Chains A and B, each alone.
Chain A
């Protein structure tokens, strides 16, 4: 590139700067060896970003597995959804004695192909499980009712004859006569 006039002056200043830089420049071997030493140094095997990503992945997988398990359990507890035609007219939950679980699914399985028999077996199992759950739930309800209405046999002994006086307060706007009648033991 051909330079003229002030460009030459600028170049002269740059050259001077270059001379100064060359004087203070670090040796190539020193910089190269340091770079080589750094490259040979063992790298940190553990990277934070990698660990975070792995943790996130594990958490996602675990929550997915839990959710699918819960969903399946919910499906099983609802035979109308899970078993299809397994127990279409199943009895509603009541406190009466549970009917025997076997007859209903057995009726459905009559003269059906082999795969139908398998589904019947599955439906029967589900119905039995449901009945067991219902019985357990009803028993628990009965127990809860009994516990909540229980009273101690000596509870009446805890009541005093002056219970009304002790638990009530005279109102300020009452007359003196009423107050006297309210407090029967006061001397007249």
Chain B
């Protein structure tokens, strides 16, 4: 299926619409590191502005954008690994990271249930985490998730099923009280 190609202003409007989910996906790709996720997102926008990442309308914009974010995150992680090996401190991100770390309130606001859930999620292999995130968090179909992950739909399904099973087991071990967490008032539409 061919999608409509866009000029930069149209693309910008679409990117703005998808900014929230994009940031969530970047967070997931960066092991929930907010500074790194923001940097990745900025690099992605830069790539789009410079024409290094070009949307040709071959797939859904969201799928394309998520694939670009995923690749950029992997590249950035490689770079930061190299930087760590060379022990060169990063000029910009350290200051930003410290500014994020200086938000104790945000850290306290996280509920214990969410903390446990995140811990359980982090225990999963990267592919399984990605599959679950794309399906449950971004509401993508398995085919779209497979496109983003760059794998076949069968493979994506396998990651999804295994991830779900392991997450369930891990949550059971952690004794997460679903009854409290998913019937919260601020998220009433979660279970219907």
A residues near B (Cβ < 8 Å) are 1, 6-22, 24-26, 28, 31-32, 34-36, 38-39
Nearest-Cβ distance from residue B60 to partner chain A, whole angstroms: 16
Contact between chains at A15 and B45 (CB < 8 Å): no
Tell me whether chain B's interface is mostly helix, strand or loop, or mixed: helix
How long is the Cα–Cα vector from A38 to B142 in the complex, in angstroms? 36
Contact between chains at B141 and A13 (CB < 8 Å): no
Nearest-Cβ distance from residue A22 to partner chain B, whole angstroms: 5
Please name the residue on chain A nearest to B179 by beta carbon. A9
Those of B169-191 within 8 Å (CB) of chain A: 171, 176, 178, 181-182, 184, 186-187, 190-191
- 14 pairs, A vs B, C-beta closer than 8 Å: A1-B142, A10-B136, A10-B164, A10-B168, A11-B190, A13-B117, A13-B181, A16-B187, A20-B109, A22-B20, A28-B15, A31-B19, A32-B45, A35-B43
Residues of A within 8 A of B117 (CB): 13, 16-17
Contact between chains at B178 and A9 (CB < 8 Å): yes
Residues of A within 8 A of B106 (CB): 24
Contacts A1-B141, A24-B106; A13 near B24 (Cβ below 8 A):
no
Contact between chains at B187 and A25 (CB < 8 Å): no
Residues of A within 8 A of B168 (CB): 6, 10
Counting from the closest, the 6 A-B pairs by CB-CB distance are A12-B182, A35-B45, A12-B190, A14-B136, A28-B19, A35-B46
Nearest-Cβ distance from residue B62 to partner chain A, whole angstroms: 15
| Other-chain contact of A36, B19, B49, B135, B137 (Cβ < 8 Å) | B49
Residues of A within 8 A of B43 (CB): 35
How long is the Cα–Cα vector from A24 to B182 in the complex, in angstroms? 21
Is B7 part of the contact surface with A, judged by Cβ < 8 Å? no
Please name the residue on chain A nearest to B51 by beta carbon. A39
Residues of B within 8 A of A19 (CB): 186-187
Contacts A1-B142, A31-B45; A15 near B187 (Cβ below 8 A):
yes
Contact between chains at A26 and B23 (CB < 8 Å): yes
Q: Interface digits, B28-61 against A, CB 8 Å rule (1 contact, 0 not)?
A: 0000001000100111011001100000000000
Contacts A8-B182, A11-B190, A17-B118; A26 near B38 (Cβ below 8 A):
yes
Please name the residue on chain B nearest to A12 by beta carbon. B182
How long is the Cα–Cα vector from A1 to B106 in the complex, in angstroms? 33
Residues of A within 8 A of B110 (CB): 20
How long is the Cα–Cα vector from A21 to B22 in the complex, in angstroms? 11
Residues of B within 8 A of A11 (CB): 136, 190
Residues of A within 8 A of B176 (CB): 13
Residues of B within 8 A of A16 (CB): 111, 113-114, 117, 181-182, 184, 187, 190
Residues of A within 8 A of B118 (CB): 17
Is B16 part of the contact surface with A, judged by Cβ < 8 Å? yes
Contact between chains at A39 and B190 (CB < 8 Å): no
How long is the Cα–Cα vector from A22 to B19 in the complex, in angstroms? 9
Contact between chains at B20 and A34 (CB < 8 Å): no
Is B159 part of the contact surface with A, judged by Cβ < 8 Å? no
How long is the Cα–Cα vector from A34 to B27 in the complex, in angstroms? 19
A1-B142, A16-B182 known, 7 other contacts, Cβ within 8 Å: A13-B113, A16-B117, A16-B184, A19-B187, A21-B23, A25-B23, A28-B19
Is B156 part of the contact surface with A, judged by Cβ < 8 Å? no
Contact between chains at A35 and B190 (CB < 8 Å): no
